Structure 1
Amino acid sequence: MTEIAGFTRRRIVLPQIALSVQEAGRGAPLILLHGFPENGLCWARVAPAFAERFRVIIPDLRGYGQSDAPPDDAGHDAYSKRQMAGDIIALMDHLNLPSAHILGHDRGARVSYRLALDHPARIRQLGIIEIAPTAEYWDAWGYDLAMSAWHWTFLAQPAPLPERMIAADPVAWLDHTLQGWTREKSLDVFPPASLAAYRAQAQDPARIHAMCADYRAGATTDRAHDIADRAAGRRIAAPLHFLWGRHGFPARTGDPAGIWRRWADLVTDTACDSGHFVMEENPQAVLDAFLPFFSAQAD
């Protein structure tokens, strides 16, 4: 697996996990968190521009890329977003970062807002790309979401059913997933090196198990955590900017920005012409949305 141009990669051993981390740039720390079924290389088209202004840190989440992929547990805590946010806090502690800007896409965005709820003092500003909160997403489940986000229920089925089905032809499964969630229904939007890394990841049984565990947590533990926070009136205090594609998943909820205003005190949003993979389909929209947002409090 390669690195993003201008970035260096190293393996960082933390108390509970070892993460593969790419880093470049100087300035205020900005942590970029990827989603499913990708890894840190999904930021390849935007990370160099961010690194001109920030110290950019890109970990592969647990179970993805070159990071450790521990087995799931019976309670689906191992891949809960609370645990994965804890990994990022441990990484920040290792790097001596009291706080950082956080930008997440897809599953990485779920880790990001969980970090903002559980560790509010550690986050400066929060960027969210292409999700609604987990509990809200389940609440909005209907025909359109069920047909487009079929993976939420498929991957959450008990092990080893989805793992075995994916193993029958993992590259075809991955390509179908990636292609189907783009606006143009094409793999051409993905940089060749990134696509090769995603395909290699999909052929590793441990990584496929981790991805399924990620979604099992989403259907159980993560949802329960969100419901508890919502009932308790807990809100995200950090300024939040939300970027969503007009042809992506949150658009199907009806009022995606309005949903985030129920969870955070200060929300701004931008819609762009893209499918789900905004960083690769419309990288300029990501830079236009988040360079000014994070630069406003860069120091």
Structure 2
Amino acid sequence: MIEGFTQSRIDTGDVTLSIHRAGRGAPLILLHGYPQNHRCWAKVAPRFAQDFDTIVPDLRGYGDSDAPADDAGHTAYSKRRMAADIVGLMDALGLDRAHVLGHDRGARVAYRLALDHPDRIARLGIIEIVPTGDFWESWTADLALKAYHWTFLAQPAPLPERMIAANPVAYVDWTLAQWTLEKSLAVFAPDALDSYRAQMSDPARVHAMCADYRAGAFLDRQLDGDSRKDGDLIAAPLHFLWAEGGFPAQTGDPLSLWRRWAPQVTGNACRSGHFAMEENPQAVLDAFLDHFRRN
């Protein structure tokens, strides 16, 4: 649980999502990434809830949400399908529009949501990613070594699933620690770390996480290419936060990549590794409280 939040399960029409919710005001949806779940927002969500109706789902396949099996075309975990889950969640909650803030895989869901359903997004926040197609195009040998999980998890089933199953706790601990600035698990709250370890020990959720990356390597990349060819742009004002020690920083000028996708883009870097909400929560609040307060 997140302090002060209540949990419920919401039928979105395709899957049932577990959500945590608190606060009043304009709705703000927080979308987590890999290999995490809603618990990654625990250090910032209570402060957001002072100003916003704050809704923290577990994405499909993660946390306590449904985890359907992948399909041959990797559509089950495409960001288009996962964005549709959030639209279904908004419909079920009676929300016409919301602010959306996403980190990692959740940020990929967030920007696809903004492209596919522009009328449902008021303001958009992106933490620690560049668009999927752009990230693939930015690969160098150095970046490929750091982002090895993009190709590892996308391998055909059940290869990565079986390899992770050999020691899931060691795998997730290594991943989490290596992506922090200090290469340490110390930044993660004990209950959050327990949650991430339990999730990685569930074969259905490991399969879902691999399916998420299989979609990223194939369909999501294709969707980005189609959007670029069609001239699609993100209409919502977008603020981008990236970490000095994270993945986007390795692409050279990550802010310029987002300016190709949206006419209203602001951004800043912070001192952190990949997990900014847990490593530097104040930087996340400083970056996004004012952004989402604006009309």
TM-score (norm 1): 0.98
Counterpart of 1:128? 126
Of residues 37, 59, 80 in structure 1, which corresponds to 2:57? 59
Correspondence 1:33-112 to 2 at 5 A: 33-112=31-110
**Counterpart of 2:188 in structure 1: which amino acid?**
F
Correspondence 1:226-245 to 2 at 5 A: 226-245=224-243
Deviations 1:234-253 (A, max 9, x none): 11010000000000000000
Tell me the distance in 2 between the aligned counterparts of 1:122 and 1:139: 29
Q: Does the aligned pair in 1 maintain the 2:60–2:82 contact within 8 Å?
A: yes
Deviations 1:186-239 (A, max 9, x none): 000011111100000000000000000000000000000000001111110100
Counterpart of 1:292? 290
Counterpart of 2:208? 210
Q: Does the aligned pair in 1 maintain the 2:38–2:63 contact within 8 Å?
A: yes
Of residues 111, 114, 133 in structure 1, which corresponds to 2:112? 114
Q: Which secondary structure does the structure 2 equivalent of 1:189 belong to?
A: coil
Correspondence 1:169-180 to 2 at 5 A: 169-180=167-178
**Counterpart of 2:32 in structure 1: which amino acid?**
H
Q: Which secondary structure does the structure 2 equivalent of 1:238 belong to?
A: coil
Tell me the distance in 1 between the aligned counterparts of 2:60 and 2:164: 20
- Per-residue deviation, 1:81: 0.2
Counterpart of 2:28? 30
- Per-residue deviation, 1:14: 2.3
Q: Which secondary structure does the structure 2 equivalent of 1:10 belong to?
A: strand
Q: Which secondary structure does the structure 1 equivalent of 2:59 belong to?
A: coil
Q: Does the aligned pair in 1 maintain the 2:37–2:58 contact within 8 Å?
A: yes
> Is the deviation greater in 208-217 or in 14-23?
14-23
- Per-residue deviation, 1:42: 0.3
Counterpart of 1:268? 266
**Counterpart of 1:178 in structure 2: which amino acid?**
L
Tell me the distance in 1 between the aligned counterparts of 2:233 and 2:10: 31
* Structure 1 segments (4+ residues) deviating >6 Å: none
**Counterpart of 2:92 in structure 1: which amino acid?**
H
Q: Which secondary structure does the structure 2 equivalent of 1:234 belong to?
A: coil
TM-score (norm 2): 1.00
Deviations 1:261-287 (A, max 9, x none): 001110000100000000000000000
**Counterpart of 2:68 in structure 1: which amino acid?**
P
Q: Which secondary structure does the structure 1 equivalent of 2:186 belong to?
A: helix
**Counterpart of 2:244 in structure 1: which amino acid?**
R
Correspondence 1:175-194 to 2 at 5 A: 175-194=173-192
Q: Does the aligned pair in 1 maintain the 2:259–2:265 contact within 8 Å?
A: yes
Q: Is it true that 1:10 corresponds to 2:27 in the alignment?
A: no
Structure 1 residue ranges without an equivalent (≥5): none
- Per-residue deviation, 1:145: 1.3
Structure 2 residue ranges without an equivalent (≥5): none
Q: Which secondary structure does the structure 2 equivalent of 1:274 belong to?
A: coil
Report percent identity of matched pairs.
Answer: 67
Q: Which secondary structure does the structure 1 equivalent of 2:267 belong to?
A: strand
Q: Which secondary structure does the structure 1 equivalent of 2:236 belong to?
A: coil
**Counterpart of 1:33 in structure 2: which amino acid?**
L
Of residues 141, 144, 147 in structure 2, which corresponds to 1:143? 141
Tell me the distance in 2 between the aligned counterparts of 1:181 and 1:87: 28
- Per-residue deviation, 1:177: 0.3
**Counterpart of 2:44 in structure 1: which amino acid?**
V
Aligned length: 295
**Counterpart of 2:203 in structure 1: which amino acid?**
P
Q: Which secondary structure does the structure 1 equivalent of 2:246 belong to?
A: coil
Tell me the distance in 2 between the aligned counterparts of 1:228 and 1:190: 38
- Per-residue deviation, 1:144: 1.9
